[in-house]
């Protein structure tokens, strides 16, 4: 037997039999280009070919946002599990168990604090990987806790949204989180603290109809879907063709619903600049009252 059969052939067979990891490649949802997952992650999950902003995990968001990827997650209050005893094709409690096992998160909102551009900040990130980022009673508890922490630290609250809306398994209880989160935003306003919203793809339903559109500064990532009902539902209802780019970030920016659309790489610097501007004035500074109109002078005859 030659050295080819003894040495080379087994090596070739070993290479051919080597298993390729399932997550080695990622396909861009926009341009269908095959991308190395490792390289894509280095580019903050933004396609280098077309600039499409793909979804990001909660932990990645926090690392990309805080200075030096350093932050402290906080313990968040728990809410009653399955208050309605809901069941469709499977029990709601089983759906929660599955979501927790797959996402390694216990709910759809994670809250942490640290610094952004040297400015203290509290950041809440919605986890689309946990039941599509839906909003239930536990979410409401966590959002209020985030607002209270920001007030305690006298820091701004930054929220990254990514959600399919209210969680249907909690019925009207999930809808009650809309006014509840609105009250939490008002708590920040009363304390004179900035509330900044970064809308990512997708942000829909009751989330859009409540706290997601109440920011002092409204920022969005490029081409993010932002709306209450989906485009197909609207088209079927009004029986008209919607304008090109309807409910996308750029369309909302052109129509005054957003303050700016910012690419992901520029978000930390943009947030640092906005926080620096908004936190420069002391919280107890009160704007002067509007000047009363004076009666027009009557010319002497």
- pLDDT per residue, tens digit, the chain (301 aa), is 565 666 666 666 665 555 656 678 999 999 999 999 999 999 999 999 999 999 999 999 999 999 999 999 999 888 888 889 899 889 999 999 999 999 999 999 999 999 999 999 999 999 999 999 999 999 999 999 999 999 999 999 999 999 999 999 999 999 999 999 999 999 999 999 999 999 999 999 999 999 999 999 999 999 999 999 888 889 888 898 888 889 999 999 999 999 999 999 999 999 999 999 999 844 444 344 445 555 444 444 4
Consult the annotation and say whether 179 binds a ligand. no
DSSP-derived secondary structure letter, 265: G
Distance of alpha carbon 125 from its chain centroid, rounded?
A: 5
* Separation of alpha carbons 197 and 123, rounded Å: 10
- Cα dist. 247→30, 125, 213, 253, 259 in Å? 17, 22, 13, 10, 15
* Separation of alpha carbons 247 and 107, rounded Å: 27
Q: How many of the other CB atoms lie within 10 Å of CB of 262?
A: 20
208-236: b (≥16 Cβ within 10 Å) or e:
bbbbbbbbbbbbbbbbbbbbbeeeeeeee
**In sequence order, what E strands does the chain have?**
25-27, 34-36, 71-73, 109-116, 119-126, 157-163, 195-203, 217-220, 260-261
* Separation of alpha carbons 204 and 115, rounded Å: 29
Consult the annotation and say whether 28 binds a ligand. yes
SS3 77: coil
Number of residues that this document lists for the chain? 301
Consult the annotation and say whether 43 binds a ligand. no
* Separation of alpha carbons 267 and 20, rounded Å: 34
Stated pTM of the model? 0.85
- Cα dist. 15→10, 11, 68, 281 in Å? 9, 6, 39, 64
Consult the annotation and say whether 295 binds a ligand. no
Backbone angles phi, psi at 42, to 5 degrees: -65, -30
- The owner of tokens 């997601």 is 212
């Amino acid at each position: 037997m030659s050295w080819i059969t003894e040495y080379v052939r087994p090596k070739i067979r070993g290479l051919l039999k080597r298993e390729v990891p399932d997550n080695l490649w990622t396909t861009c949802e926009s341009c269908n280009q095959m991308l190395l997952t490792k390289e894509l992650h280095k580019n903050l999950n933004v396609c280098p070919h077309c600039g499409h902003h793909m979804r990001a995990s909660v932990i990645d968001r926090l690392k990309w946002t805080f200075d030096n990827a350093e932050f402290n997650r906080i313990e968040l209050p728990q809410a009653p599990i399955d208050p309605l005893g809901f069941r469709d094709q499977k029990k709601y409690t089983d759906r929660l168990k599955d979501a927790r096992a797959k996402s390694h998160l216990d709910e759809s909102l994670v809250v942490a604090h640290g610094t952004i551009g040297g400015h203290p900040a509290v950041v809440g990130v919605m986890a689309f990987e946990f039941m599509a980022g839906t909003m239930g009673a536990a979410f409401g508890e966590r959002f209020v806790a985030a607002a209270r922490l920001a007030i305690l630290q006298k820091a701004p609250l930054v929220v990254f949204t990514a959600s399919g809306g209210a969680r249907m398994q909690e019925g009207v209880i999930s809808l009650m989180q809309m006014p509840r989160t609105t009250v939490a935003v008002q708590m920040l306003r009363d304390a004179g603290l900035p509330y900044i919203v970064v809308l990512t793809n997708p942000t829909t339903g009751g989330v859009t109809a409540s706290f997601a559109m109440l920011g002092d500064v409204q920022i969005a990532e490029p081409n993010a879907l932002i709306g209450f009902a989906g485009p197909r539902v609207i088209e079927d209802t009004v029986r008209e063709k919607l304008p090109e780019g309807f409910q996308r970030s750029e369309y909302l920016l052109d129509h005054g619903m957003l303050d700016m659309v910012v690419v992901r790489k520029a978000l930390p610097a943009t947030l640092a600049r906005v926080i620096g501007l908004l936190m420069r004035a002391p919280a107890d500074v009160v704007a002067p009252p509007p000047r009363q109109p004076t009666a027009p002078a009557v010319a002497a005859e």
